[in-house]
């Protein structure tokens, strides 16, 4: 698995990192894309984990749970009619649909198909976000001059660039 990850392009690694940030609903972590570091960075209060001083960053908002729910639902609906499809659709009706779906998935033959489907859907979501924010990938570098880009200063926080 590590070898496969190492063979990913910079663009694919960006998609993976932003996907992770968008799926993180932690209350104490705010994710940013740091255009100077060319990587995602967390801001975690009271831990000293911050973007570098003076770096240009763009906040990565967590995806609404409804969007992630729809990805699971779309996957289940894409399956051929049968027991696995019905079990996955039923799991989405339980009280805790995310954990129910994950648990039900582990008892099907669809685990690898799910990860491929989710990865493709997240790439589409992220590419739409990139377009909305004005993020450009050219010659191996991500850049953005959109209004959401801020400059981080440890003393004063985020300021408009």
Residue 64 has pLDDT above 80, yes or no: yes
- Phi then psi dihedrals of residue 151, to 5 deg: -110, 130
- Phi then psi dihedrals of residue 33, to 5 deg: -100, 125
Residue 71 has pLDDT above 90, yes or no: yes
Q: Which long-range contacts (CB under 8 A, 24 or more apart) does 68-74 make?
A: 68/23, 68/98, 69/97, 69/98, 71/117, 71/118, 71/121, 71/122, 72/97, 72/98, 72/101, 74/117, 74/121
Percentage of the chain surpassing pLDDT 90? 80
Residue 4 has pLDDT above 70, yes or no: no
CB 133 within 8 A of CB 58: yes
Tell me what the mean pLDDT of segment 3-8 comes to. 65
Q: pLDDT at position 1, please? A: 47
3-class DSSP string for 4-32: HHHCCCHHHHHHHHHHHHHHCCCCCEEEE
pTM listed for this prediction: 0.87
Give the pLDDT confidence of 88-139 residue by residue, as tens digits.
999 999 999 999 999 999 999 999 999 999 999 999 999 999 999 999 999 9
């Amino acid at each position: 698995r590590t070898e496969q990850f190492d063979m990913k392009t910079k663009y694919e690694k960006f998609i993976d990192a932003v996907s992770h940030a968008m799926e993180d609903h932690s209350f104490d972590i705010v994710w940013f894309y740091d255009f100077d570091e060319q990587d995602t960075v967390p801001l975690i209060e009271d831990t000293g984990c911050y973007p570098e001083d003076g770096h240009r960053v763009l906040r990565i908002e967590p995806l609404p749970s409804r969007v992630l729910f729809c990805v699971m639902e779309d996957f289940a609906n894409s399956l051929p009619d049968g027991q696995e499809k019905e079990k996955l659709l039923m799991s989405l009706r339980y009280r805790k649909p995310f954990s129910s779906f994950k648990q039900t998935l582990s008892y099907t033959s669809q685990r690898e198909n799910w990860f491929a489907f989710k990865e493709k859907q997240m790439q589409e979501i992220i590419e739409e976000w990139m377009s909305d924010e004005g993020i450009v990938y050219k010659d191996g570098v991500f850049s953005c001059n959109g209004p959401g880009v801020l400059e981080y200063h440890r003393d004063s926080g985020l300021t408009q660039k």
